[in-house]
Structure 1
Amino acid sequence: MPTIGFAGLGLMGAGIARNLLKGGYPLVGLAHRNRAPLEALIADGAREAANAAALGAECDIVFLCVTGAPQVEALIEGDTGIRAGARGAGKRDLVIVDCSTSEPTVTRRLADSLAADGIILIDAPLGGTPTQAEAGELQAIVGSDDATLARLRPVLETWAAKILHVGPVGAGHTMKLLNNFLAMGYGAIFAEALTIGAKAGITPQTFDSVIRGSRMDSGFYRTFFQYVLERDRDAHRFTLANAHKDTRYLADLAEALNVEAGVAKAVRDLYAGAESQGDGDRFVPELSDIVAARHQLSLV
């Protein structure tokens, strides 16, 4: 079985890596600031890589599940990057699977550059939650050629309940940004609607009594309001910093495509404002409290 490398053992990555290990694949992990997920995987049979170059040298497939484009580039390039390790080992059949939510333009540029070294880069950003990552029930939104996807499908199936092939390399990241634009857009709308309602005497409970079960109900709505109504911070563990990053990438993509995206820019700016005031580590549903507080309101 191919040896799998993994960089980015965060909320999503740790669950994916564990399912790869359960699937019987030899796993080599790269440590970051929090060593606990890697130590848990080592206890179950994984090995630790000294650096990203070791992943390139020792592995047949390397998964990246990091914050965004700068982190992806840092792992791939440089003297101790994945490319250097693969070159040093004389490998020309390595596949890098980028599960991060990254910039499509960067993804395509890296893929073209890596191809000169015989390295294939595909994008497979994620749909789902950390709980679904643990359960092996994520969506993989894949940008790849047909042959590479066929090669990787058994590996992806260890952690993805649904594999969605949306086009060539870069298409996965494009679709993921569109998906997150919808989600973060809903989050922005919910936050402002709750504040407008509170100003007019409509409580969150009254708001929910009308929306829940209606055509405007959704899985995102349910987790957002699990926080609003029950104060459950773990209901939707996606940070405002990540929301800002993803909406910024989407707005930048629209600009590169000469699309006038006023809504995308407005959504981006709301999350940018939350991060700039020091709330980047809070989760998306908490945007409702942040917007309310700006108007001297409480939703509790």
Structure 2
Amino acid sequence: MAEQVAWIGLGNMGRGMVKNLVAKYPLQTPLIVYNRTHSRAKDVACTLAKPVNIAPTITEAVGSATIIFICLSDDNAVTETFQTAISTCTIAGKLFIDCSTVHPDTSRRIANLVESHGGLFVACPVFGTPPAADAGQLIFVLAGKRELVERVKPFCAGVMGRVSLDLSTSPAGGPTGNDDDDEKEPLMDPGRASLLKVLGSALSLNMVNAVAEAMTVAEKSGLGVDSLHSFLELMYPGAYVRNSNRVRSGGGQTREEPPFAVDLARKDARYAMDVASAVGVRMKGLELADEYLQGVEKHIKGEKGED
């Protein structure tokens, strides 16, 4: 039987991911898409390389599919979506792939809920900005049962992303070399992908904070932001330089829709600090970054702004 793929969530990240999924993956049947705001689903559908079917409800999207991707903004949205799917559909045998950034414990609860109803689950959060999603350059982090992760990989690197990091094999991403069940069990934990995601987000927030502070000092001291930027290009190419460019160019101030919402950045920070606290660690740098973000929330109207 042909696989039927569905996609739930067409936000900043989901739009670009769907674009590449439709254009690059050999779908056997038209992709089913669902978005809470129906008009957005229609607008996105008009931009895609191939026709898609727009589902009016979560129930119809999940009920008609065998593989369901979910990419939503927060834990509440993800939890409500799964509860709706499970209460209105028979999900036995269906594979759910959650690309949302959620707390590791949320991933574990959802996985247990899905599996208790005969469904299958892989946690698959992504690293990257909306432009990276649009360009198919995301980093995918996958965790869950190894055979399920293998089913998901073909959708990731070379289609929606540039690389996949598989946490179902070993902590380093390679084979365990051990057939003992007690050793394998932690590697099946879908929460590991979400844990890496929130820690990675913490690193990103710390980096953004460091670049912004250094740029401010460079400008006020007379050194100049261009001189600091030249140093970053030589010493810290990659993400530091990209963030420096954003600061120098005014960042998202020229965009109609900012790439990341402040409340979502703070959500990621809270989750990272929570998992750190659970193991007796305090992330003081992240606390400072979150303090700055809280100030941004007070400064702007609404909760959207540069991360």
Q: TM-score, normalised by structure 1?
A: 0.83
Cα drift, residue 174 of structure 1: 0.8
Q: Are 2:14 and 1:13 equivalent residues in the alignment?
A: yes
* Counterpart amino acid of residue 109 in structure 2: R
Cα drift, residue 38 of structure 1: 3.9
Aligned mates of 2:229, 2:299 — CA distance in 1: 28
Match of 1:278 in 2: 300
Aligned mates of 2:295, 2:195 — CA distance in 1: 24
Q: Are 2:263 and 1:241 equivalent residues in the alignment?
A: yes
The sequence identity of aligned pairs, in percent, is 22
Q: Are 2:72 and 1:66 equivalent residues in the alignment?
A: yes
* Counterpart amino acid of residue 207 in structure 1: L
Q: Are 2:209 and 1:188 equivalent residues in the alignment?
A: yes
Aligned mates of 2:92, 2:40 — CA distance in 1: 33
Equivalent pair of 1:19/1:134 in contact (CA under 8 Å): yes
Per the alignment, in what secondary structure is the counterpart of residue 212 of structure 1?
A: helix
Match of 1:48 in 2: 54
Aligned pairs, number: 276
Aligned mates of 1:98, 1:127 — CA distance in 2: 13
* Counterpart amino acid of residue 70 in structure 1: N
Per the alignment, in what secondary structure is the counterpart of residue 51 of structure 2?
A: coil
Match of 2:183 in 1: none
1:210-249 → structure 2 map (5 Å cutoff): 210-214=231-235, 217-231=236-250, 233=252, 237-249=259-271
Equivalent pair of 2:38/2:56 in contact (CA under 8 Å): no
Cα drift, residue 200 of structure 1: 3.0
Q: TM-score, normalised by structure 2?
A: 0.81
1:131-280 → structure 2 map (5 Å cutoff): 131-157=131-157, 158-167=159-168, 168-214=189-235, 217-231=236-250, 233=252, 237-278=259-300, 280=303
Q: Are 2:81 and 1:75 equivalent residues in the alignment?
A: yes
Equivalent pair of 2:71/2:98 in contact (CA under 8 Å): yes
Cα drift, residue 213 of structure 1: 1.0
**CA displacement, residues 90-123 of structure 1 (integer Å, 9 cap, x when unaligned):** x411111111111101110111122110112221
More displaced stretch, 167-176 vs 20-29 = 20-29
Cα drift, residue 147 of structure 1: 0.8
Cα drift, residue 86 of structure 1: 2.8
Name the CA shift for 1:151/1:211 in 2 (closer, same or farther; >3 Å): closer
Match of 1:287 in 2: none
Match of 1:85 in 2: 88
Aligned mates of 1:101, 1:138 — CA distance in 2: 14
